[in-house]
């Protein structure tokens, strides 16, 4: 897996000023496909990912057959695609429809004792099922069956929306699509072991919003973490809650709240609600939202205006194919999004920009320092945001290989102020020169300040459909 020198060393035309080792995945994919086009022996590869309720996503590509023998470039190309798909779409059962050696390679890597043990463990926790890799013929991969449920964009009636953050939670009362009340309250969920702390604070916010409405017809929520059927499966907000209480009380908590209020209630990942808020604000569909904050949060609204139910946890998906890329401290994999589109990216690039900080200073404060230095004209600070802009410019067409979108919304602390504009300017420069079709076909947006503050809770209110 580590001998794929050709595919891992496609040098970009635009090299980030502070990261000469950056190797964009999209260029590696182009190079590999050129090799496929020139090869006399190729075969189809169909990857299927099964998740909750029998839902299946598929991804199809063509690989070099190489007489059925292992090929380092093919192995690397396929493994990185599998990695991206798992964190973009999710799944506990992986169908590898192609040569046996490819399936065997993925099976050895995605095992409890393999290099991707972290990914295996997380998928098992999310879907509460053993993770498995099945090698089958391409024709035997199950047909795609995505969710048919329309989530979001329902503006009728009297609704409450909430957005659970790490240090505050926002609440909104919405009547026939108009916000009649918005507020935010401080809280400290990540340090609280008692699950009733979370339950009581959420209920308190709902009651405040309900006082501004003649009745409550539906409740929608946005929260960091992985949610399946309105249940938090992995969520940092509840990290201090003991595992037994988490399973017994936290996972069914939102269903309980909905039953107690007697109305439909939906809770989904905050990245998806970010995309929904942007789509409602811009009056768009086929939109990808990327929030660059403490991590990289991503949400997706499909071309028919649906939230897909995919994981969209691209903080763990590949963003750099360089063998010298930095490792994420949690997954230990190298070159994943968590090191390229958030506060960690700023911190990673800072030394090369001559930016020094006290060891005790946290990442949010380091970002603020860099932003202040850029505001007074420090070139090193500006180079950080330009470098992230280069990352973004090469990553947008790469994301388009897995998501069908016409608009990209970026937001989060890293995009605040002049830094966000610099990133977009550099990303557009890369796209115009290297990917003119994407430059012409994808709109890049930063939300206005009002949308940043209240849009999330208001969009969350639109999640449930009112049952007539």
Tens-place pLDDT, residues 357-397: 999 999 989 999 999 999 999 999 999 999 999 999 999 99
Give me the chain's average pLDDT, please.
Answer: 92
Q: At what angle do helices 379-399 and 418-434 cross, to 10 degrees?
A: 50
- What digits encode the pLDDT tens for the residues 57-108? 999 999 998 777 789 999 999 999 999 999 999 999 999 999 999 999 999 9
What does the pLDDT read at residue 286? 92
| Burial of 425 from C-beta contacts in 10 A (0-12 / 13-18 / 19+) | middle
For residues 279 and 301, the answer to whether their CB atoms sit within 8 Å is yes
- What digits encode the pLDDT tens for the residues 254-294? 999 999 999 999 999 888 888 888 888 888 889 999 989 88
**Sign of dihedral through CA atoms 240, 243, 244, 249?**
positive
Q: Is the pLDDT of residue 3 over 70?
A: no
Q: Is the pLDDT of residue 351 over 80?
A: yes
Give strand pairing partners of 268. 222
What does the pLDDT read at residue 263? 97
Rounded to a whole number of angstroms, the distance between the first and last alpha carbons of the chain is: 55
pTM more than 0.85: yes
List domains and CATH numbers for the chain: 39-140 (no CATH), 158-269 (3.30.420.40), 275-455 (3.30.420.40)
For residues 49 and 93, the answer to whether their CB atoms sit within 8 Å is yes
Q: Which two tokens stand for residue 238?
A: 């509840």
């Amino acid at each position: 897996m580590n001998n794929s020198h050709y595919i891992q060393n496609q040098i970009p035309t635009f090299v980030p000023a502070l990261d000469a080792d950056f190797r964009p995945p999209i260029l590696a994919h182009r190079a590999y496909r050129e090799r496929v086009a020139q090869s006399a022996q190729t075969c189809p590869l169909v990857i299927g990912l099964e998740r909750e309720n029998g839902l299946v996503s598929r991804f199809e590509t063509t690989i070099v057959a190489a007489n059925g023998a292992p090929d380092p470039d093919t192995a690397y190309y396929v493994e990185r695609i599998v990695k991206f798909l798992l964190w973009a779409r999710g799944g506990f059962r992986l169908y590898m429809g192609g040569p046996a050696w490819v399936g065997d390679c993925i099976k050895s890597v995605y095992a409890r004792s393999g290099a991707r043990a972290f990914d295996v463990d997380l998928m098992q926790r999310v879907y509460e099922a053993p993770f498995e890799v099945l090698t089958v013929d391409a024709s035997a991969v199950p047909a795609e069956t995505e969710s048919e449920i329309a989530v979001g964009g329902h503006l009728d009636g009297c609704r409450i929306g909430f957005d659970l953050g790490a240090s505050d939670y926002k609440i909104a009362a919405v009547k026939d699509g108009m916000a009649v009340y918005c507020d935010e309250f401080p809280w400290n969920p990540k340090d609280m072991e008692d699950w009733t702390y979370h339950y009581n604070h959420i209920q308190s916010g709902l009651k405040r919003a309900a006082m501004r409405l003649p009745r409550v017809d539906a409740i929608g929520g946005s929260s960091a973490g992985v949610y399946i059927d309105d249940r938090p499966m992995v969520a940092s907000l509840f990290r201090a809650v003991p595992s037994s209480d988490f399973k017994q009380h936290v996972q069914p908590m939102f269903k309980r709240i909905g039953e107690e209020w007697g109305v439909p209630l939906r809770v989904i990942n905050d990245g998806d609600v970010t995309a929904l808020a942007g789509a409602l604000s811009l009056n768009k569909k086929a939109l990808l939202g990327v929030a660059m904050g403490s991590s990289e949060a991503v949400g997706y609204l499909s071309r028919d205006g649906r939230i897909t139910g995919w994981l969209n946890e691209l903080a763990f998906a590949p963003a750099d194919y360089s063998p010298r890329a930095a490792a994420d401290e949690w997954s230990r994999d190298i070159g994943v999004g968590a090191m390229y589109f958030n506060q960690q990216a700023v911190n990673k690039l800072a030394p090369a920009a001559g930016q020094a900080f006290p060891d005790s200073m946290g990442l949010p404060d380091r970002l603020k320092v860099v932003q202040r230095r850029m505001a007074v004209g420090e070139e090193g600070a500006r180079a950080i945001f330009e470098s992230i802009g280069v990352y973004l410019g090469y990553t947008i067409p790469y994301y388009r290989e897995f998501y069908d979108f016409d608009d990209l919304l970026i937001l989060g602390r890293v995009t605040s102020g002049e830094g966000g504009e610099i990133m977009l300017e550099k990303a557009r420069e890369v796209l115009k020169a290297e990917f003119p079709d994407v430059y012409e076909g994808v709109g890049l947006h930063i939300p206005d300040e009002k949308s940043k503050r209240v849009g999330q809770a208001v969009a969350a209110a639109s999640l449930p459909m009112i049952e007539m």
